[in-house]
Amino acid sequence: MVEVNKENFDDEIVKSGLPAVVDLWGPKCGPCLALMPQVEELASSYEGRLKFGKLNVAENRRLCATLRVMGVPTFLFYKGGEISSRISGDDVTIEAIKENAEKLL
């Protein structure tokens, strides 16, 4: 997983040659922190087929506002530089992340 921020977001995610999954998390978000090990494991299983990035919302508030992210956890799924789907809040489960990731392939 690559750490993304306002400086590298376009290059790493939007202009990526691969479809991308972005994990928007917060350092005080219990569900975010609980999911992170599973997400990192999932990311390694898609190595070379999908790019996974994680974005700390506390350090990137303006970018989150631009992305219309109102709460965490939120996952954004990019294909061809555009958001193709998103899940947030109670809808975020490892199964939902995997299901949306599969649709990108």
From the list 32, 50, 76, 104, the catalytic residue is 32
Angstrom distance (rounded) from CA 18 to CA 51: 6
pTM greater than 0.75: yes
Q: Which of 4, 21, 22, 29 is catalytic?
A: 29
Domain segments of the chain as ranges: 2-104
Q: Would residue 64 show up in a list of annotated catalytic residues for this protein?
A: no
The highest-level CATH class for domain 2-104 is alpha beta
Per-residue tens of pLDDT for the chain, all 105 residues: 999 999 999 999 999 999 999 999 999 999 999 999 999 999 999 999 999 999 999 999 999 999 999 999 999 999 999 999 999 999 999 999 999 999 999
